[in-house]
Structure 1
Amino acid sequence: MKDPQRILQLLGLAARARKIVSGEELIIREIRGGRARLVLLSTDASHNSRKKIKDKCASFNVELHEFGDRYDLGHATGKEARVAVAVTDNGFATKLSGLLNEYNRG
């Protein structure tokens, strides 16, 4: 089932519940602090941003998904373009993880 809309809607819900963090430095701080549960990286992120976030997620064992472009992520969270978003809530992260895995398999 390829429905990116459900993922974006859930991301918007998490944003309204203040359970996400965006901005490269803030995301890295959340990963280091053990608060990031899941990180979404836009498919059009720069090479440097992509490498920095991927490496951090790998070393701190945080689930990482590439999904949508910076405008999709920004629009879903009610902000301008966002290259990456970290979800800090277990419930939202678990649900998003399921939807993303399903989406990527589809």
Structure 2
Amino acid sequence: MTNEQKVLNLLGMAQRAGKLVTGEDLSIKEIRNGNAKLVIVALDASENTRKKLSDKGQHYEVPVTVRFTKLELSQAIGKERTICTIIDKGFAKKFRELLSI
């Protein structure tokens, strides 16, 4: 199993554990509140969306990575989403190890 597959499996686990926030508005809210530990934006998200989240992440010092397709993220968490935000330190640490960020 590749690290990419492990990350997608872990996304599903984080979702079930309630440690994942999805969607642009909720993700930005969590970044502002200081709860976001890591943001994953789909490769096929609009350029505007990618820029907005990257800028927010930089401003609030939250790592933002652009990986996977919208389809891969959606299949991993069981609902159609372009943005996944991890709000748990433990999960975020594991994601960073697997993604080498």
Q: Where do 1:62-77 residues align within 5 Å? A: 62-77=62-77
CA distance in structure 2 between the partners assigned to 1:85 and 1:30 by the alignment:
11
CA distance in structure 2 between the partners assigned to 1:21 and 1:55 by the alignment:
18
The residue number in structure 1 matching 2:48 is 48
Structure 1 vs Structure 2 CA RMSD = 1.4
Q: Which segments of 5 or more consecutive residues in structure 1 lack a partner in the other structure?
A: none
Q: Which segments of 5 or more consecutive residues in structure 2 lack a partner in the other structure?
A: none
Q: What SS class does the counterpart of residue 62 from structure 1 fall into?
A: coil
- For 2:67, give the aligned amino acid: F
The residue number in structure 2 matching 1:98 is 97
CA distance in structure 2 between the partners assigned to 1:47 and 1:89 by the alignment:
27
CA distance in structure 1 between the partners assigned to 2:100 and 2:67 by the alignment:
11
CA deviations 1:6-46 (Å, max 9, x no partner) are 11001110001010001101100000000000000111110
Q: Where do 1:1-106 residues align within 5 Å? A: 2-80=2-80, 82-101=81-100
CA distance in structure 1 between the partners assigned to 2:10 and 2:3 by the alignment:
12
CA distance in structure 1 between the partners assigned to 2:63 and 2:2 by the alignment:
20
CA distance in structure 1 between the partners assigned to 2:63 and 2:48 by the alignment:
19
Q: What SS class does the counterpart of residue 39 from structure 1 fall into?
A: strand
Tell me if structure 1 keeps the 8 A contact 2:28–2:56: yes
Give the paired residue count.
101
1:65, CA displacement in angstroms?
Answer: 1.1
